[in-house]
């Protein structure tokens, strides 16, 4: 049913953004697959139809996307010549986290060699542009398959112009032992509108662990609009953690589409530690029966930061399970939004779907909007949702203080405990430890950066 | 005991829509359509003072600029606002002194509805202001209430007799600019009830009004205004049944409540308008704006509603908690069957300090119906120590219906504690089996389980309504099992 108003309410702005892109971006059109050209064409049309979400768009009610685009940040359509070494500005070193590390810089896969990294068992990890050349069949089959159905103008904008990003393919029956780490960096000596597109395809009965880090290093204002599509074939297992640590000038809009076939298992964690304006759209469809999906999120925001998590889990097949757990701590003038929806389609009997959103406001000026929603069209289901907004439990505080713990320490302890509910869902142990540490730092008010990392957020 | 049960069972199984009949009463109507002339005419016929005409015209002009809201989870067929008769009044003699003067047809209708307008009502302590279509037919108990200084009369009478109160309060909680249907209502409202409880008075009886849409093709635009002055209390009941009709009828009412310091208002509704037949044909469109303002400190407004009728329901009784320590409550049972659609819930706006609100919503969907809870809990910056607890449960009967929950929580103050909980479930096979085993048919078992499920809300209703509501739930769900 869904009475969403799809009409483009910002025709002028939409036209302006489109013109800007089209004026800038002629050179990227060469060497693209026919399927990609179709995607771009469709994306362009869809963008004109749906437009930049306006202030009254229900899905973006609390995140002023229109304002971000009105700033007229120029789009970056071709990779810039780099005048710096990556090592000089960024070093990710979680000592015991032994990963394959890949970097996407300003929306373009950062790789000295031009071929997709080939690994034992046929796993392919690399840039999307390269994948188009080397695995045209697979890319044509999956690219835009899920995102193409979206009625979001921003997803369409990405389809129309983004041409690169990271690509991961795990063939049938292959278990990737080491996690993959993908680092998205935005760093430039000017303001950029950055778009990238990622594709992850997991074959039948395969397994992967992926860590995605979003970092904005540039001190200039930046706007990032990225789309990630994940396809999990039967019985695939995926553990994905996205860590967002960005500076106050960064606006990061992410769209993640996950399609789960029968008996797949997803564990998705979203940790937003720091950032100017963050908007995460997560769109999970349980296409096959007995699929299991966990979507967890934690956000810790202060000053004038803004975070908006928009989670949509659709049960299209019977006997699936889903759980959403989102928690947030908001300090100073920060604003947080959680908007979660469970859709149980007709015939999706024996569905189990849960949703919890808990938030703590530390100041009078912080603000939280929560919208936990259920839309159910089947009767044999178990669905619950709950949301709370409040402050730290006074009784718990009293308990700790009566045992000689200082107020400040007691408060921190309670906040760690609150946040740990989500952190403990991270399955990669060393990463969990590292994130625990970052969260603790963050809650203490320190800037959460890794020891060896030279990144400076401010 | 057994006999009682038999009686209920036969009532449950016997009828589709118990109150489906029309009575032939001579009507005095205006032509179809809506324009400024019609509004002038409505105002003229009702002998309204000049300010009311202005109020109506302003609302009408504003309405012209507005669009039908689309956000609700409803499929609303196109409504031709020019194809509606905006004013219909039974040609009864004005100012009746006793029941004998009431048109026998109307009396007959009320008897069929089981509303004893006769003096027996007095024994049960209920004063009835019966509204038949647009004009108030008969008001009882006015005198005894008047002794206490309570004003309980029709809206038209209040406009003429108490223009100062009307000027001060009408549109103060629901301004004509509020929404599309509120603007329409403000422009064309025909009648309704007006209640004023003076300082320190606790109304000795439940006030109730039976609304009833009667003439074909007439929209019903009711307007109710309840004012409870300092330290007063009133419990107000509203019950609705409507005759069976093929053509959809539009109902856009407004209810405004204002409570001053330490005052309390309890507003209960049983809504059982014609929901359309089994194929979704016909039925009432019920687009209502209900809002209360807890103006004074320590004031309280409690809404209780049992919604079983109407083809489409669009209704959000809300409370603005402006006074410190004020309290808002919302208890709701909404049942949809066949092709009915309901999008209902509440808004709690916490503005004053130490304000509290409680929301208990029970949705039951069966057949091919869709039932949504939509609610907003808003805590503004200055609302220190606001507390809200919301619970919205949905019960699904059959695999073709939908149950949805759209809660909005907006918190702007750290001292607020806001909780929302919701569950969705179906009637367990084990529960049905247990009842079957003890000789209770599946249909009765469903009725029992549903009544148990809704008990928390039904308990809030005044006694006589609670009984009626229980029966209603069963009738509404008839044919939804097996």
B293-314 pLDDT, tens digit each? 999 999 999 999 988 888 899 9
Contact A389 B425 (CB under 8 A): no
A436's enclosing H/E stretch is: helix A429-444
Average pLDDT in chain A: 86
pLDDT at A420 over 60: yes
Q: What is the Cα–Cα distance from A127 to A114, expressed in whole angstroms?
A: 9
Contact A3 B381 (CB under 8 A): no
Which residue shows structure tokens 């089947």? A378
**Which residue in chain B is spatially nearest to A343 when comparing CA positions?**
B404
Percent of chain A with pLDDT over 70: 88
| Structure confidence at residue A88 (pLDDT) | 62
Q: What is the Cα–Cα distance from A71 to A52, expressed in whole angstroms?
A: 13
Mean pLDDT of A193-205: 94
- Measured CA distances, A257 to A88, A227, A313, B408 (Å): 33, 8, 10, 25
Alpha-helix residue ranges (DSSP H) falling in A135-178: 136-142, 153-161
Which residue shows structure tokens 């108990």? B141
Q: How confident is the model at residue B108 (pLDDT cuts 50, 70, 90)?
A: low
Q: How confident is the model at residue B7 (pLDDT cuts 50, 70, 90)?
A: low
pLDDT at A414 over 80: yes
| Structure confidence at residue B92 (pLDDT) | 45
pLDDT at A238 over 90: yes
| Structure confidence at residue B430 (pLDDT) | 87
A50's enclosing H/E stretch is: helix A34-50
User: Closest Cα of chain A to B183: distance in Å?
Assistant: 21
| Structure confidence at residue B5 (pLDDT) | 47
User: Closest Cα of chain B to A328: distance in Å?
Assistant: 13
**Hey, of A56, A387, A393, which one would you mutate to test binding to chain B, going by the most B CBs within 10 A of its CB?**
A387
Q: What is the Cα–Cα distance from B49 to B67, expressed in whole angstroms?
A: 29
Q: How confident is the model at residue B461 (pLDDT cuts 50, 70, 90)?
A: confident
User: Closest Cα of chain B to A440: distance in Å?
Assistant: 21
Contact A382 B424 (CB under 8 A): yes
* Interfacial A residues in 327-356 facing B (CB < 8 Å): 346-347, 349
Q: Is the dihedral of CA B153, B158, B160, B162 positive or negative?
A: positive
| Structure confidence at residue A175 (pLDDT) | 93
| Structure confidence at residue B68 (pLDDT) | 84
Q: Is the dihedral of CA B185, B188, B190, B193 positive or negative?
A: positive
pLDDT at B212 over 60: no
What value of ipTM does the predicted structure carry? 0.78
Higher pLDDT, A426 or B216: A426
Bridge partner list, A352: A321, A382
Please, are residues B73 and B403 in contact by the beta-carbon 8 Å criterion? no
pLDDT at A280 over 80: yes
Q: How confident is the model at residue B281 (pLDDT cuts 50, 70, 90)?
A: confident
Q: What distance separates the 2 farthest-apart alpha carbons in chain B?
A: 68
Higher pLDDT, B447 or B374: B374
pLDDT at A327 over 60: yes
Pairing between strand B233-241 and B264-272? parallel
Looking at residue A79, the DSSP 8-state letter turns out to be P
Least confident piece of the model among A48-57, A60-69, A270-279, B144-153: B144-153
Q: How confident is the model at residue B10 (pLDDT cuts 50, 70, 90)?
A: very low
A415's enclosing H/E stretch is: helix A407-423
pLDDT at B115 over 70: no
| Structure confidence at residue A248 (pLDDT) | 86
Contact B420 A376 (CB under 8 A): no
Q: Which residues of B touch A395 (CB under 8 A)?
A: none
Higher pLDDT, A224 or B123: A224
pLDDT tens digits, one per residue of A150-163: 999 999 999 998 88
Please, are residues A174 and A204 in contact by the beta-carbon 8 Å criterion? no
| Structure confidence at residue A8 (pLDDT) | 79
Higher pLDDT, A399 or A32: A399
User: Closest Cα of chain B to A458: distance in Å?
Assistant: 26
Least confident piece of the model among A138-147, A447-456, B233-242: A447-456
Instruction: Tell me if residue A438 falls in helix, strand or coil.
Output: helix
* Interfacial A residues in 241-300 facing B (CB < 8 Å): none
Phi, psi of A323 (to 5 degrees): -145, 130
Which residue shows structure tokens 């007799």? B161
Q: What is the Cα–Cα distance from B87 to B35, expressed in whole angstroms?
A: 12
Contact A384 B370 (CB under 8 A): no
**Hey, of A2, A373, A380, which one would you mutate to test binding to chain B, going by the most B CBs within 10 A of its CB?**
A373
Higher pLDDT, A72 or B379: B379
A379/B contact by beta carbon, under 8 A:
yes
User: Given B70, B402, B414, which is nearest A363 (Cβ)?
Assistant: B414
**Hey, of B367, B391, B402, which one would you mutate to test binding to chain A, going by the most A CBs within 10 A of its CB?**
B402
Contact A391 B413 (CB under 8 A): no
Q: Which residues of A touch B71 (CB under 8 A)?
A: 3, 58
Which residue shows structure tokens 């002194």? B97
User: Given A376, A378, A380, which is nearest B404 (Cβ)?
Assistant: A376
**Hey, of B411, B419, B428, which one would you mutate to test binding to chain A, going by the most A CBs within 10 A of its CB?**
B411
A384/B contact by beta carbon, under 8 A:
yes
* Interfacial A residues in 390-449 facing B (CB < 8 Å): 390-391
Please, are residues B220 and B191 in contact by the beta-carbon 8 Å criterion? no
pLDDT at B131 over 70: no
pLDDT at B62 over 50: yes
A56/B contact by beta carbon, under 8 A:
no
**Which residue in chain B is spatially nearest to A333 when comparing CA positions?**
B412
**Which residue in chain A is spatially nearest to B71 when comparing CA positions?**
A3
Please, what's the b/e burial string for B300-326 (b: 16 or more CB within 10 A of its CB; e: otherwise)? bbbbbbbbbbbbbbbbbbbbbbbbbbb
A380/B contact by beta carbon, under 8 A:
yes
Please, are residues A288 and A235 in contact by the beta-carbon 8 Å criterion? no
Under an 8 Å CB criterion, which residues of B touch A?
70-75, 370, 379, 381, 394, 396-426
Least confident piece of the model among B50-64, B276-290, B400-414: B276-290
Contact B417 A388 (CB under 8 A): yes
A1/B contact by beta carbon, under 8 A:
yes
Beta-carbon contacts below 8 Å between A and B: 127
Q: How confident is the model at residue B376 (pLDDT cuts 50, 70, 90)?
A: very high
pLDDT at A1 over 50: no
Q: Which residues of B touch A393 (CB under 8 A)?
A: none
User: Given A367, A368, A374, which is nearest B422 (Cβ)?
Assistant: A374
Instruction: Tell me if residue A96 falls in helix, strand or coil.
Output: coil
Higher pLDDT, B215 or A166: A166
Q: How confident is the model at residue A427 (pLDDT cuts 50, 70, 90)?
A: confident
Instruction: Tell me if residue A115 falls in helix, strand or coil.
Output: coil
**Which residue in chain B is spatially nearest to A58 when comparing CA positions?**
B71
Mean pLDDT of A186-193: 85
Q: What is the Cα–Cα distance from A336 to A324, expressed in whole angstroms?
A: 17
Higher pLDDT, B350 or B88: B350
**Which residue in chain B is spatially nearest to A331 when comparing CA positions?**
B414
State the pTM of this model. 0.82
**Which residue in chain B is spatially nearest to A358 when comparing CA positions?**
B419
Contact B403 A376 (CB under 8 A): yes
User: Closest Cα of chain B to A317: distance in Å?
Assistant: 14
B206 token code pair: 């439940």
Contact B404 A374 (CB under 8 A): yes
Q: Which residues of B touch A374 (CB under 8 A)?
A: 394, 403-405, 422, 424
**Hey, of B392, B400, B424, B450, which one would you mutate to test binding to chain A, going by the most A CBs within 10 A of its CB?**
B424
Structural domain boundaries in chain B: 2-477
Mean pLDDT of A357-378: 90
Q: What is the Cα–Cα distance from B396 to B477, expressed in whole angstroms?
A: 11
Least confident piece of the model among B94-108, B295-309, B312-326: B94-108
Q: How confident is the model at residue B104 (pLDDT cuts 50, 70, 90)?
A: low
Angle, CA A389 vertex, CA A384 and CA A393 arms, to 5°: 105
Q: What distance separates the 2 farthest-apart alpha carbons in chain A?
A: 69
Q: Is the dihedral of CA B109, B224, B363, B457 positive or negative?
A: negative
Phi, psi of A210 (to 5 degrees): -130, 135
Q: What is the Cα–Cα distance from A317 to A345, expressed in whole angstroms?
A: 8
**Which residue in chain A is spatially nearest to B428 when comparing CA positions?**
A380
Of A148, A47, A385, which Cα lies nearest the Cα of B423? Answer: A385
**Which residue in chain B is spatially nearest to A334 when comparing CA positions?**
B412
């Amino acid at each position: 049913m869904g009475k969403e108003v799809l009409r483009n309410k910002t025709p002028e702005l939409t036209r302006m953004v489109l013109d800007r892109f089209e004026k800038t971006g002629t050179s990227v059109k060469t060497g693209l697959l026919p399927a990609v050209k179709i995607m771009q064409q469709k994306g362009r049309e869809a963008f004109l139809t749906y437009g930049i979400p306006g202030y009254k768009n229900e899905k973006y009610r609390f995140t002023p996307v229109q304002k971000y685009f009105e700033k007229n940040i120029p789009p970056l359509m071709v990779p810039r010549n780099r005048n710096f070494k990556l090592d000089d500005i960024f070093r990710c070193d979680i000592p015991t986290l032994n990963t394959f590390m890949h970097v996407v810089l300003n929306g373009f896969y950062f790789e000295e060699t031009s071929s997709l990294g080939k690994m034992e068992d046929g796993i392919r990890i690399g840039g999307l542009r390269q994948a188009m050349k080397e695995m045209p069949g697979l890319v044509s089959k999956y690219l835009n398959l899920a995102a193409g159905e979206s009625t979001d103008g921003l997803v369409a904008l990405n389809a129309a112009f983004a041409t690169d990003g990271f690509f991961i393919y795990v063939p049938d029956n292959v278990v990737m032992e080491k996690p993959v780490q993908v680092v998205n960096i935005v760093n430039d000596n000017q303001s950029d509108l950055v778009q990238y597109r990622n594709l992850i395809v997991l074959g039948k009965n395969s397994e992967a662990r992926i860590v995605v880090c979003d970092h904005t290093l540039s001190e200039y204002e930046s706007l990032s609009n990225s789309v990630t599509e994940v396809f999990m074939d039967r019985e695939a297992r995926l553990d994905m953690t996205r860590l967002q640590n960005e500076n106050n000038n960064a606006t990061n809009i992410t769209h993640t589409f996950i399609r789960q076939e029968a008996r797949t298992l997803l564990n998705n964690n979203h940790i937003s530690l720091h950032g100017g304006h963050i908007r995460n759209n997560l769109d999970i469809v349980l296409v096959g029966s007995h699929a299991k999906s966990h979507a967890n999120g934690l956000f810790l925001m202060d000053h004038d930061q803004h975070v908006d998590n928009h989670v949509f889990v659709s049960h299209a097949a019977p006997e699936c399970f889903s759980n959403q757990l989102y928690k947030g701590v908001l300090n100073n003038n920060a604003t947080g939004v959680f908007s979660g929806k469970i859709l149980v389609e007709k015939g999706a009997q024996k569905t189990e779907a849960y949703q919890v959103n808990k938030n703590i406001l530390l100041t009078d000026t912080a603000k939280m909007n929560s919208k936990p929603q259920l839309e159910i069209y089947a009767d044999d289901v178990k669905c619950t949702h709950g949301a709370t907004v409040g402050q730290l439990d006074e009784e718990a505080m009293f308990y700790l203080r009566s045992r000689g713990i200082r107020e400040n320490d007691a408060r921190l302890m309670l906040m760690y405990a609150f946040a740990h509910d989500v952190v403990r869902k991270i399955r990669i142990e060393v990463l969990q430890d590292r994130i625990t540490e970052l969260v603790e730092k963050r809650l203490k008010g320190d800037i959460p950066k890794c020891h060896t990392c030279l990144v400076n957020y401010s | 005991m057994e006999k009682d049960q038999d009686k209920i069972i036969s009532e449950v199984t016997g009828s589709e829509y118990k109150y489906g009949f029309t009575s032939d009463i001579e009507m005095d109507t205006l032509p179809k359509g809506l324009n400024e002339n019609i509004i002038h005419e409505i105002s003229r016929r009702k002998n309204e003072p000049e300010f009311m005409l202005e109020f109506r015209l302003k609302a009408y002009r504003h309405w012209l600029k507005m669009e039908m809201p689309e956000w609700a989870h409803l499929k609303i067929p196109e409504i031709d606002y020019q194809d509606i008769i905006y004013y219909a009044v039974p040609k009864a003699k004005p100012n009746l002194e006793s029941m004998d003067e009431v048109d026998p047809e109307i009396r007959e209708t009320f008897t069929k509805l089981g509303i004893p307008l006769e003096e027996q009502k007095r024994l049960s302590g209920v004063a009835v202001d019966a509204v038949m279509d647009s004009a108030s037919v008969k008001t009882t108990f006015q005198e005894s209430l008047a002794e206490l200084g309570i004003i309980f009369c029709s809206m038209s009478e209040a406009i003429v007799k108490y223009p100062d109160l009307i000027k001060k309060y009408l549109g103060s909680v629901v301004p004509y600019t509020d929404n599309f249907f509120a603007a329409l209502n403000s422009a064309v409202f025909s009648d309704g009830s007006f209640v004023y409880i003076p300082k320190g008075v606790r109304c000795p009886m439940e006030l109730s009004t039976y609304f009833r849409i009667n003439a074909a093709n007439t929209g019903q635009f009711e307007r109710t205004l309840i004012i409870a002055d300092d330290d007063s209390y009133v419990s107000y009941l509203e019950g609705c049944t409507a005759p069976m009709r093929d053509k959809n009828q539009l109902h856009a009412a407004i209810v405004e409540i204002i409570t001053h310091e330490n005052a309390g208002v309890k507003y209960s509704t049983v809504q059982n308008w014609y929901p359309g037949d089994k194929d979704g044909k016909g039925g009432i469109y019920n687009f209502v704006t209900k809002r209360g303002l807890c103006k004074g400190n320590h004031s309280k407004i409690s809404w209780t509603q049992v919604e079983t009728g109407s083809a489409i329901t669009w209704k959000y009784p809300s409370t603005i908690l402006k006074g410190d320590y004020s309290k808002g409550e919302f208890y709701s049972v909404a049942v949809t069957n066949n092709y009915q659609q309901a999008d209902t819930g509440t808004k709690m706006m916490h503005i004053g300090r130490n304000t509290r609100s409680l929301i208990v919503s029970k949705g039951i969907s069966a057949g091919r119906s869709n039932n949504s809870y939509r609610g907003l809990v808003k805590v503004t910056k200055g609302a220190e120590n606001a507390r809200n607890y919301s619970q919205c449960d949905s019960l699904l009967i059959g695999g073709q219906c939908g149950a949805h929950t759209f809660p909005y929580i907006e918190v702007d103050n750290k001292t607020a504690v806001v909780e929302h909980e919701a569950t969705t479930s179906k009637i367990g096979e084990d529960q049905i089996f247990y009842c079957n085993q003890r000789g209770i048919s599946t249909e009765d078992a469903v009725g029992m389980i549903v009544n148990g499920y809704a008990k928390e809300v039904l308990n809030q209703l005044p006694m006589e309504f609670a009984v009626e509501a229980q029966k209603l739930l069963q009738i509404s769900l008839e044919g939804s099992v097996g």
